[in-house]
Amino acid sequence: NAGVTQTPKFRVLKTGQSMTLLCAQDMNHEYMYWYRQDPGMGLRLIHYSVGEGTTAKGEVPDGYNVSRLKKQNFLLGLESAAPSQTSVYFCASEGTTARAKNIQYFGAGTRLSVL
């Protein structure tokens, strides 16, 4: 019963490098989200997707791109990493049934440092 799985768990990048964070969910959820968590800031939404092939911008989308080619996967890309992107990144998913709606399930997070 995996739920929401994020890879990798840790990563260190140099400024200007690129990388992709992978989120996979096995609950057949329609909605998926990427957040970043910074000290004293709570969680802020980067991008989200309401279905396969669709994505939308959240509160802090600049410097990130996303793709949802398969329903179970949601990828977050950093094309040219900057120190300001040092953060902990969380993926979440949510179902659309009456029972599942309004409950977001979170992965364990990816800790990213950009030097």
Partner 1 sequence: GDSVTQMEGPVTLSEEAFLTINCTYTATGYPSLFWYVQYPGEGLQLLLKATKADDKGSNKGFEATYRKETTSFHLEKGSVQVSDSAVYFCALRDSGAGSYQLTFGKGTKLSVIP
Residue 93's nearest CA partner among 41, 23, 36 is 23
Applying CB under 8 A, which part among 12-20, 44-52, 67-75, 76-84 lies near partner 1?
Answer: 44-52
When the beta carbons of 14 and 40 are compared against partner 1, the nearer one is: 40
Residues 6 or more apart whose CB falls under 8 angstroms from that of 40 comprise none
- Residue 1 touching partner 1 (CB under 8 A): no
For residue 73, give the amino acid letter: N
Identify the DSSP state of 112: E
When the beta carbons of 89 and 114 are compared against partner 1, the nearer one is: 89
CA separation (Å) from 113 to 19, 30, 31, 82?
12, 30, 27, 9
Kindly state the smallest distance separating residue 27's Cβ from partner 1, in Å.
Answer: 14
Residues that bind partner 1 (CB under 8 A): 4, 31, 33, 40-45, 48, 50, 56, 58-59, 90, 92, 102-109
